[in-house]
Amino acid sequence: MPKVLITPRSFGKHSDEAKRILTAHGFEVVTNPYGRILTEEEMKKEIVDVDAVIVGVDPLNADVLAFAKNLKVISKYGVGTDNIDIEYCKANNIPVTITRNANSDSVADFTFTLMLAIARRIVEIDKSCRAMDWGKKTSIGIYGKTLGVIGTGAIGKGVIKRAYGFDMTVLAYDMYQDDQLAKEYNVNYVELEQLIRESDFITLHLPATPETTNMFSEKEFSTMKDTAVLVNTARGELIDEDALYEVLKNKKIWGAGLDVFKKEPPEKKELLELDNIIVGAHAAASSVDAVNKMSLMAVENILANFK
């Protein structure tokens, strides 16, 4: 009986349909026994005799994959594959699939939620009211402002579509421009420096690569408006967290909304003490709709590629 390891904790959380499909196709299903992201040593132990794996952000580097003697397919629960050694997989004929667009709407929703929450200081206001402090807190608006979208893939496009209803001016930066998107939603593709300088809200939707690591650091923060909001629901590597802490602490920008960090929980714990940042536990994709869709798609990808 072929064996499949499932590491994402949210897999099948709201429906058992995906697991039932695997069982019906003769798979033995093994789920994450730790209740958290696995370490490299734990992955090495769990992956030894599996034929397939559905993986979240757990490590699947070459050292880990060397222990997977029976592995025939990797099904990424999501789209980012920076935790998987793709070159090793190619060299060893292990297909790697992704659940493309399964969580796009969920992440776009969460991105816009963070933008609104930071602008209107929702968390601060809620906290004060719970302490019986009914004093007014001045906030900033979002309607009619300038939105900078870095990365116009499925999620970036989703954010732009939502911004359209807020009558926002949209600037975009991407190596590959979407002319149809630009025409339909009046999007202006510009150089990164211009986007950072002119945007009231900036949202990141890029993978983590050597080129994008720390793309927001001291230089970029120094050119942002002092009323600007930065949102990251993509990858923590995109932001220099030390530099971000300094600009937030010194009120050099209005605020930030981060659902991702370089390490989760973040090593820069001082960030969690600031009142002009809202943090998430990499939860942007964790809606009932997205979880069900990703679970089913991850299973479909295994069945389509299993040998």
Is 14 part of the annotated catalytic residue set?
no
- Give me the catalytic one of 121, 162, 205, 282: 282
- Give me the catalytic one of 40, 246, 264, 300: 264
**CB contact at 8 A, 206 and 150:** yes
Task: Enter the tokens of residue 180.
Answer: 């149809």
> In this structure, how many other beta carbons lie within 10 angstroms of the beta carbon of residue 219?
12
Return d(Cα 55, Cα 80) in angstroms, integer: 11
**CB contact at 8 A, 59 and 38:** yes
- Give me the catalytic one of 162, 198, 235, 241: 235
Return d(Cα 202, Cα 227) in angstroms, integer: 11
DSSP 272: G
Query: Cis bond leading into 207, ω under 30°?
Result: no
Is 235 part of the annotated catalytic residue set?
yes
- Give the three-class secondary structure for 52: strand
Phi, psi (rounded to 5 degrees) for 63 = -60, -40
Return d(Cα 182, Cα 200) in angstroms, integer: 19
Residues involved in catalysis: 235, 264, 282
